[in-house]
């Protein structure tokens, strides 16, 4: 059950949002406030997953309120609901999960809720993994879907700014070779003049060193001949995926592990332009790894359930791949799983007809029709 707190200085806006949210499943509104200062005081007394927050309010601006949440209640997500589009950039600078413009449509609200649910689920699954691994001696980083770093006590590292977080991720992303400071500034501050970008780099490097020192890491960044290199040993989900794929192990446990760890694309929610190339490369590598498992298992007529899950993940990775669509539909036809056949065909129809505006391939339509004609 997602626990939501609403803050807006207009009573009517609060009522409208409450009515819309009550039409959705698994949402509990734990509070409504027209006074942001009072809401901030009461946050200590109530369990909240996400705050729906207005921008322009008397007593405290929405951005100021969000900064307080980031500092004091890092587990709470912030979603802005406002009539002022000019604050969108500032909203994401304080790690807001989304930004809705009034009047909010139900379709847009549902999209935002789904985004929040995915993030909360990711947090929960990662925390369960962290709790289970009490013997870990290294830092642990989650890069799939969103980037999160856990310290030696399994607590998530809190970043002073988004740029500090991005700098750490960027240095780790390029961990195999030192990066010249000019390239760092070009990637992280492409819109700034060289002098200003260099000053921002120095400030951010300082803040990063300070943040890592606070969790017990001395000399985490090496600078040699104007080249930076991260000197911090880290375990991560993406390294686990890479290790399995590169080993080409196709046993059940390894395949299940890859599917579990690939909870989303590489740092897809971070909006780091420099990560996109590897994001696509890793997606293709995982796709081909699962494809090999499917081919091998079907040849031996084994691991039927995991073959289905692998094909589903493959379609998720490449929703417009006709061969995967056909294989997945055929797999559930062969298993005589009517529910899954309907579900897969509906997914294909959505991906092709609604998303692309193209017809479903004839062989897939024929496969679907033949199945239901004989059942």
Separation between Cα atoms, residue 188 and residue 173, nearest integer Å: 13
Predicted confidence at residue 94, as pLDDT, reads 58
Domains and CATH numbers, the chain: 2-125 (3.40.50.2300), 133-232 (1.10.10.10), 237-374 (1.25.40.10)
pTM tops 0.75, yes or no? no
- Res 313 pLDDT > 90: yes
Tokens of 30: 């734990």
Q: What are the backbone dihedrals phi and psi of residue 74, each rounded to the nearest 5 degrees, phi first?
A: -65, -20
- Res 72 pLDDT > 80: no
Query: What one-character DSSP code corresponds to residue 134?
Result: T
Question: For residue range 320-348, what is the model confidence (pLDDT) as tens digits?
Answer: 999 999 999 999 999 999 999 999 999 99
Cα distances from 311 to residues 69, 87, 122, 257, 278, in angstroms, run: 41, 42, 22, 15, 22
Bridge partners (DSSP) of residue 99 are 80
With CA atoms as reference, report the closest residue to 250 among 316, 299, 296, 305: 296
Q: What is the mean pLDDT of the chain?
A: 89
pLDDT band at 134 (very low <50, low <70, confident <90, very high): very low
Higher pLDDT, 133 or 223: 223
Q: Which residues contact 241 (CB under 8 A, 6 or more apart)?
A: 144, 258, 261, 262, 282, 286
């Amino acid at each position: 059950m997602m626990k939501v707190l609403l803050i807006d200085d207009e009573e009517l806006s609060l009522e409208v949002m409450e009515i819309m949210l009550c039409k959705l499943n698994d949402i509990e509104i734990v509070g409504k406030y027209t006074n942001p200062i009072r809401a901030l005081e009461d946050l200590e007394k109530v369990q909240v997953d996400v705050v729906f927050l207005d921008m322009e309010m008397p007593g405290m601006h929405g951005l100021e309120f969000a900064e307080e949440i980031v500092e004091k209640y890092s587990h709470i997500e912030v979603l802005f609901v406002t009539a002022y589009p000019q604050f969108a950039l500032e909203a994401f600078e304080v790690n807001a999960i989304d930004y809705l413009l009034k009047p909010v449509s139900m379709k847009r609200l549902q999209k935002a809720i789904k985004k929040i649910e995915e993030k909360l689920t990711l947090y929960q699954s990662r925390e369960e993994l962290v709790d289970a691994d009490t013997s870990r001696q290294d830092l642990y980083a989650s890069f799939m879907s969103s980037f999160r770093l856990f310290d030696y006590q399994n607590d998530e590292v809190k970043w002073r700014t988004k740029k500090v977080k991005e700098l750490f991720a960027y240095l780790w992303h390029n961990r195999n070779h030192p990066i010249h400071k000019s390239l760092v500034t070009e990637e992280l501050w492409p819109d700034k003049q060289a002098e200003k970008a260099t000053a921002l780099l120095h400030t951010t490097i300082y803040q990063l060193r300070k943040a890592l020192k606070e969790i017990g890491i001395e000399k985490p960044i090496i600078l040699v001949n104007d080249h930076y290199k991260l000197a911090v040993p880290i375990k991560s989900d993406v390294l686990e995926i890479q290790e399995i794929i590169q080993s080409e192990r196709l046993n059940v446990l390894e395949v299940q592990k890859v599917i579990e760890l690939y909870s989303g694309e590489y740092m897809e929610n971070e909006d780091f332009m420099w990560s996109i190339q590897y994001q696509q490369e890793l997606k293709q590598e995982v796709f081909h790894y699962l494809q090999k498992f499917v081919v091998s298992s079907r040849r031996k007529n084994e691991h039927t359930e995991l073959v289905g899950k692998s094909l589903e993940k493959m379609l998720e990775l490449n929703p417009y791949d006709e061969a995967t669509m056909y294989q997945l539909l055929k797999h559930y036809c062969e298993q005589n799983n009517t529910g899954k056949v309907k579900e897969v065909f509906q997914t294909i129809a959505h991906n092709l007809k609604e998303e692309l505006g193209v017809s479903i391939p004839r062989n897939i339509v024929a496969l679907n029709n033949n199945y239901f004609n004989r059942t």
